Amino acid sequence: MSRPSLKEQILDAAVETFHRNGFNATSVQDITEAAGVPKGSFYNHFKTKEDLAIDALDRYWQRVLGSLSILNEEHAPPLTRLKRYFRHLAGVARKHDYQIGCMIGNMSAELADHSPQVRARLAAELGAWTRAIEDCVTEAQLDGSLRDDIAASSIAAFLLNAWEGAVIRAKVDQTAASLDAFVAVVFTSLTS
C-alpha cells in the first residue's frame, strides 16, 4: 500500500485538529506536528491556513455526504429515515463524548464573520445539506407522515438549524440532553 502524500497527511491532520480545537486555536505548527511533517511542507501545498481550512471543510463534507445516504434508503419510509439520520448524528456526537461538535457548525460560528471564502464554502455545504434533508421531508409530506402545512424547505432548514444549535448545547453540557430534546420535540411537533 502506498504512503499518503504529504498534502494528504496535512489535510487529514487539519480536519482532526480544526474539528477538535477550532480554527483560531490551531496553528500551522499544530497541524504539521499532528501530520508528522516538517512545517515547510505546509507552505509547499497551501498558501494560507485559510486555504487549508477550505480544503479541510471539503474533506469533512465528504463524511457528511456519507451519512446523508441514510436519508435515501429506499426500503424505509421517509419519516423513519429522518429519525434514523438524526439518531445517527447523535451517535456520532456520543462517540466523541459531546466534546467536538460539528466542524461545519464550529467553523460557521468561528469564521463566518472573518473569512468570505470560508463563509461561501460553509453556505454551499449548509445549502446542500438542507436540500438533502428537504428531499426526505418532501417524501414524508407526500406519504402523510409529516405535516404539510409548512413548506418542506422551511422544515428542512429548521431541522438543520435546530440540530446545529442542539449540538452546540451538547458541547457545553457534555450530555445528550439537547439532542434527545431535539428528537422528542421535532418528531412530536412535525408528525401528522
Give how far the C-alpha of residue 18 lies from the chain's centroid of Cα atoms, to the nearest Å.
13
pLDDT of residue 4: 63
Q: Is 74 exposed, middle or buried (0-12, 13-18, 19+ CB in 10 A)?
A: exposed
- The pLDDT averaged over each successive group of 10 residues in the chain (192 residues) is 78 96 96 94 93 97 94 95 96 91 95 94 97 98 96 98 96 95 93 80
* Closest by Cα among 84, 88, 33, 27 to 53: 27
pLDDT of residue 5: 87
The structure's pTM equals 0.92
Per the CB < 8 A criterion, the answer to whether 37 and 45 are in contact is no
C-alpha cell at 45: 501545498
Domains of the chain as residue ranges with CATH:
1-46 (1.10.10.60), 50-189 (1.10.357.10)
